[in-house]
């Protein structure tokens, strides 16, 4: 019955016999799906945008930093600078169980970098090899900092895409800068690699050099600015415990009051990431809720229209029954009409929404908004819901059509 050509011809006939009404009903469904699709797309765009902005580093990460201790403690004055030295870092590393990734960092903001006669101000970061994993550095050429670079305090550098663009002749490929030499704060470094963090101008203005080299050449002490610890796939509760344990150990070692909020702290990115996850699952839920409600409103429109159709065609249905149509044939026809109407207009809404997202959205790039898209499974789900809603919305009118008795329908009055 569903794929019977005659059944479809019947449907075309009846659906097209009142184009205005059919069009308006279809519009309400199309609008419902359109809103669902566009909102989904905007939600996903917001999510991708936020993820890009905050996603320079991996989410499974803890960062140990020091600051100014606010409270006096064990004879130390308040408001003093707390520093993490190499031996503290060593001791800390022995304290924690083996972790998936571990990188020390030192920073030199606004360092002059020169190549040939071009120069500019960029950020230099001394790091350990694990930083590649922790910072999710995507190399476009060459290699990252290696353990040997650290052991031998080599003067090697990995350049961000912005440096490649600024310092080298226009159109230079990332691969072509490997092997070149640059002046970093007046010291010559060999370029061993290049990277590009798409969507992050901040990252791309950075140069990675070996931690040991940076500490030795650009610092006159052995202070570690930050330690980044990759937590791998550890559960969020475990990272919470680990960061609490780490902070109390550090406060004890660096003589910081246990209640001091500023002297030393551990940023647990896992918790931030979890928060974002929750926010976005909330947004997704909200989007589906609003979309489904809009769809429901449209479906009620269809149910309403089908009820009118049945009422208007009471006589016709009576005639059909007199000519031998069974109740099943009548119900089938009405449900097929509703589903057909829903599907066609739903597809129109789906296409329009997808077209809008793909055609218009690229023009509105924003820091917190990028690459909105409707994934295929959501689209299929929406279509499935449409069919379901189509059947449900037609049941009432169809049952009414079945209860029409030919004798009442055919009465001439």
Beta carbon of residue 407, minimum distance to another protein (angstroms, whole number): 4
Element (H, E) at 201: helix 201-204
User: How far apart are CB 20 and another protein at their closest, in Å?
Assistant: 15
Bridge partner list, 266: 64
Q: How far is the CB of 3 from another protein (least distance, A)?
A: 14
Distance (Å, rounded) from C-alpha 45 to C-alpha 202?
21
Q: How far is the CB of 298 from another protein (least distance, A)?
A: 26
| 381 vs 410, beta carbon nearer another protein | 410
Residues making contact with another protein (CB under 8 A): 5-6, 13-14, 17, 315-316, 318-327, 329, 405-407, 410-412
DSSP conformation class of 364: G
- Contacts of residue 203, Cβ cutoff 8 Å, sequence gap at least 6: 56, 135, 160, 197
In terms of CB distance, is 11 or 39 closer to another protein?
11
Token output for 114: 């020169």
Nearer to another protein, 16 or 363 (CB): 16
On whether the CB atoms of residues 110 and 101 are closer than 8 A, the answer is no
Give the residue ranges of DSSP H helices in 267-326: 269-312, 314-322
In angstroms, rounded to a whole number, what is the distance separating the alpha carbons of residues 214 and 9?
A: 78
Judged by beta carbon, residue 266 or residue 404, the one nearer another protein is 404
Would you say 13 or 74 has its CB closer to another protein?
13
Under 8 Å between Cβ of 242 and 250:
no
Q: Which is nearer to another protein, 223 or 319 (CB)?
A: 319
Give the nearest distance from C-beta 313 to another protein in angstroms: 9
Q: Shortest Cβ distance from residue 409 to another protein (Å)? A: 9
At residue 180, the 3 state secondary structure works out as: coil
């Amino acid at each position: 019955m569903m794929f019977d050509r005659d059944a479809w011809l019947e449907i075309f006939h009846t659906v097209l016999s009142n184009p205005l009404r059919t069009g308006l009903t279809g519009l309400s469904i199309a609008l419902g799906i359109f809103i669902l699709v566009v909102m989904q797309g905007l939600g996903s765009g917001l999510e991708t945008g936020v993820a890009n902005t905050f996603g320079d580093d991996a989410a499974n990460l803890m960062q140990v930093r020091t600051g100014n201790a606010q409270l006096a403690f064990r004879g130390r004055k308040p408001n003093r600078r707390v520093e993490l030295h190499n031996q503290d870092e060593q001791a800390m590393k022995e304290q924690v169980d083996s972790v998936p990734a571990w990188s020390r960092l030192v920073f030199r903001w606004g360092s002059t970098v020169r190549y040939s006669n071009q120069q500019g101000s960029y950020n230099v970061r001394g790091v350990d090899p694990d930083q590649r994993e922790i910072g999710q550095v995507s190399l476009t050429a060459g290699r990252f900092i290696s353990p040997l670079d650290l052991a031998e305090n080599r003067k090697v550098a990995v350049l961000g895409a912005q440096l490649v663009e600024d310092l080298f002749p226009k159109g230079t490929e990332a691969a072509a800068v490997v092997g070149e030499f640059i002046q970093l704060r007046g010291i010559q470094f060999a370029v061993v690699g290049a990277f590009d963090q798409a969507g992050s101008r901040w990252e791309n203005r950075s140069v990675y050099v070996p931690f040991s080299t940076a500490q030795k050449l650009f610092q006159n002490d052995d202070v570690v600015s930050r330690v980044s610890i990759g937590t791998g796939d550890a559960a969020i509760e475990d990272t919470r415990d680990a960061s609490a344990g780490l902070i109390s150990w550090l406060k004890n070692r660096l003589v910081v009051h246990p209640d001091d909020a500023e002297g030393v702290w551990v940023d647990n990115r896992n918790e931030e990431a979890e928060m974002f996850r929750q926010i976005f699952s909330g947004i997704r839920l909200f989007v589906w809720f609003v979309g489904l409600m809009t769809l429901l409103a449209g479906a009620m429109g269809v149910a309403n229209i089908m009820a009118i159709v049945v009422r208007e065609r009471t006589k016709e249905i009576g005639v059909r029954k007199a000519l031998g149509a069974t109740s099943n044939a009548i119900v089938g026809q009405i449900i097929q009409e509703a589903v057909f109407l829903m599907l066609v207009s739903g597809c129109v809404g789906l296409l329009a929404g997808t077209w809008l997202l793909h055609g218009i959205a690229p023009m509105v790039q924003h820091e917190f908004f990028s690459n909105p898209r409707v994934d295929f499974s959501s689209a299929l789900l929406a279509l499935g819901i449409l069919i379901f809603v189509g059947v449900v919305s037609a049941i009432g009118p169809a049952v009414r059509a079945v209860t029409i008795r030919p004798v009442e329908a055919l009465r001439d009055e």
